[in-house]
Amino acid sequence: MEIEQAILALGALAQQTRLQAFQVLVQHEPDGLAAGDLARLLEVPQNTLSAHLSVLTRSDLVTSERHSRSIVYRVNLTTFQAITVFLLQDCCGGRQEICAPIFESLVPCCPPPTKKEKSRA
């Protein structure tokens, strides 16, 4: 990931409503949410949310797809993963003890799939 793309994405998340929208959309993967439903959940006027979703879309963190009269928004998990990896790559400068607590804190929320889960996929 280029540093300019990382700055654009991190800047898009550096606002409360956009960060909340992103978090809600992550929770609704893989189906996404219609813009109106997202506005109701966040208790934000639709036109205000539309402006925020435009910023998230320009940063490639969010994608949209028209379904009849609705626009459904989804998180671009590829970009999200790339930003996360970009931030964590070589974060410890060769000193594993610096990053170990970060990786340990991820395990409870994101445990690796078990062998049984892998075989179902």
Q: pTM of this prediction?
A: 0.80
**66 beta partners:** 71
Residues whose CB falls within 8 Å of the CB of residue 91, separated by 6 or more in sequence, listed in order: 98, 99, 102
Q: What pLDDT is attached to residue 1? A: 75
Q: What pLDDT is attached to residue 111? A: 63
Q: What is the mean pLDDT of residues 79-100?
A: 81
Could you report the per-residue pLDDT of 10-51, keeping only the tens digit for each?
Answer: 999 999 999 999 999 999 999 999 999 999 999 999 999 999
- Fold observed for domain 3-78: Arc Repressor Mutant, subunit A (1.10.10)
- pLDDT score of 120 more than 70: no
